[in-house]
Amino acid sequence: MREPIQKYFRVGLVAGMAYAPALKDLGWSEIARRIAADDYFDVIEVNPLPDDATRAMVRAIADMGHMRLCQNAHGRLLSTGLNPNDPDEAGRQRAEAALIEGVDEAASLGISAMGMLAGHWTAETRELCFKRLKKTVVNVCRYAQTKNIFIELEVFDHDIAKRALLGPAPLAARFAAEVRSEVNNFGLMADLSHFPMTYETPAQVIPVLRPYITHFHIGNTVICDPSVEGYGDEHQRFGFPNSENDVPQVLTFLRELKKNGFFDAENPYTLTFEIKPWTGEDVDIVIANAKRTLNRAWALLED
């Protein structure tokens, strides 16, 4: 493509993933400052932040940098074991309450979209879990409407790492259709690093989820063999040994987005890197790796 990718996408970074090894030493304010100082990025995607002072500082940095903030509420669930599709109603309610707290935090940051994910399931309880998740999401969306916040559910693997109820894509599309019949502030987040984990390709995912996708993640994974280093949902750098995604796969992904009408110069979609340094790797080099990979794929994409 001759035009820059920023014409069609707001490119961002999942800050808590990229800087996970350095979070304790740097702190959220310095991490946000580093991302805001890099004009490649238009979006900072943050985890739940620890206190009001940190939230105020991160919001001020984003404003200063003329950037958007997104929030990922995954940590409110994964770090606590809460399950938004818990077959136990009391457990489901606790997860819903945690997500509503996330909406309040997003509102305090001036954020217009909050991400979440489905929880664990079993074959015996799949349909019950589906109904429980729908109840949670609809309730959270209705509350979020009062704050002008959009809820985005990320599609994960269903049997490898997170073992979440949603995907694969057809089930996620069914779920989104049912939720959208009740609320209009709901969408899906599609992550390239999860496509191999749901045994799907961009051509199998993007058209199926086309009416519901509002946000994209881009990253890598290792799933070829449970015995190899990095197996699972670890979001390694592109080019990591035995991994699934590199320039050719990113190019295929971009082609599918273009084919399905996601290149929108008037209202660009958010496309955030979800990458994490592996043991001993330098975070700045890993971020540069991601930008080079996307730049190369974009350069190879046909006009």
Q: How confident is the model at residue 177 (pLDDT cuts 50, 70, 90)?
A: very high
pLDDT for 133: 98
pLDDT of residue 216: 98
Q: How far, in Å, are 22, 80, 95, 224, 236 from residue 232 at the CA level?
A: 22, 20, 25, 9, 10
How remote is the C-alpha of 12 from its chain's centroid?
11
Residue range 5-300, CATH number = 3.20.20.150
Confidence (pLDDT) at 94: 98
Residue 182's pLDDT band, with cuts at 50, 70 and 90, is very high
Of the pLDDT bands very low, low, confident and very high (cuts 50, 70, 90), residue 293 is very high
> 10 - beta bridge partners?
270
pLDDT at residue 163, rounded to an integer: 93
pLDDT tens digit sequence for 249-280? 999 999 999 999 999 999 999 999 999 999 99
How is the chain split into domains, by residue range? 5-300
Render pLDDT for 70-126 as a digit per residue (tens, 0 to 9).
Answer: 999 999 999 899 999 999 999 999 999 999 999 999 999 999 999 999 999 998 999
* Cβ 270 vs Cβ 5: under 8 Å: no
Point out which residues pair with 232 in neighbouring strands.
222
pLDDT confidence band for 128 (50 / 70 / 90): very high
Cα separation, 55 vs 66, in Å, equals 16
CA distances (Å), origin 187, targets 82, 98, 124, 178: 21, 19, 27, 11
